[in-house]
Amino acid sequence: MLRTRIVGTGQYLPPRILTNADLEKLTDTTDEWIQQRTGIKQRHVADPGVGSSDLGAEAAKRALANAGISPDQVELIICSTMTSDYLFPSAACLIQDKIGAKRAAAYDLNAACSGFVYAVTMADALIRSGVHKTILVVGADIMTNRLSWEKRDTAVLFGDGAGAAVLQGEEGERGVLSTYLGADGASYDLLYLPAGGSKHVICCENIDNLDLGIVMSGRELFKKAVAAFCDAAENVLRATGMTIDDVDLFVPHQANTRIIFSVAERLGLPREKIFVNIDRTANTVAATIPIALDDAVQQGRLKAGDRVLLVAFGAGLTWGSVMMRW
């Protein structure tokens, strides 16, 4: 059976680091408060003038190098981002140029924090159907330049970064076993950015009257996230005929350790099987899972044949999961 396998991963984090101690000087918060509620100790911040495609291109180059794949072999680039450099063109097209993948088609996918899982699902379908053989999936987001630092409920959560994975079709048992996607557009207003889109365009005439910050209903979002995480995990496990005991490594979207551990407790998953790196990266939106996968590879937490469960939840609301044999 032809399966879609991740053959290389890579990541890039901007060199500038903003610690919780630094945030104490910008907003009404403390290191203890942030760590207790999120598990975050620091985040990386992109310099002014740097775009998501810049981060994504660096992560992509590293993923290709680790996979032993040349840019000319890439047939499609899917960039999952909600912070593209421009409204148009896509960040994927900019990444295509920056890495020299001249033969590749390219497009962006916006499913917020669930974006990487959505993109892997799209790539898996295209590879198994024979449309493409080699696909580069990139998750890249820059959130810190759109935060309102006085809003501590959102200011402490996000960081900037990019992760990438090279996917290819292979015969055998390794690779993507099943995927699952979900959405709830009726709850969009639990987490959204009111201004900047086609409904509320930012211009000189209205900029003083617009809410330029992220709107988040934290308590309700927490409940929705835990339920959606569990739904996604249970559905993809059911589709593969596996149970939670069969999972060797759980790689969740890195939004909040309280969410992650609440989900693990409901599923009956021991903490030693959970990969968490939010303490050093914060929430990098679509980049969290590919960055975590690359960290897991570098730390020796993943070996051939391991059964890996990816689960994400994000604005939209969106959620999804991927079960794979590494």
Whole-angstrom Cα distance, residue 52 to residue 142?
6
Would you tell me how many other CB atoms lie within 10 Å of the CB of residue 186?
8
Whole-angstrom Cα distance, residue 289 to residue 312?
8
- Which residue is it, tokens 């760590």? 35
* DSSP annotation of 15: S
Q: Residue 231 in 3-state DSSP?
A: helix
Length of the chain measured in residues: 326
- Catalytic annotation present for 132: no
Cβ burial 3-35 (10 Å sphere, 16+ → b, else e): bbbbbbbbbbbbeeebebeebeeeeebebeebe
Cis check for the bond before 194: say yes or no (omega within 30 of 0). Answer: no
| Contact residues for 269 (Cβ-Cβ < 8 A; gap 6+) | 244, 247, 250, 263
- Catalytic annotation present for 253: yes
Residue from 132, 253, 256, 277 carrying the catalytic annotation: 253
Residue from 44, 79, 113, 256 carrying the catalytic annotation: 113
List the end-to-end C-alpha distance of the chain, in Å, as a whole number: 15
Catalytic residues: 113, 253, 283
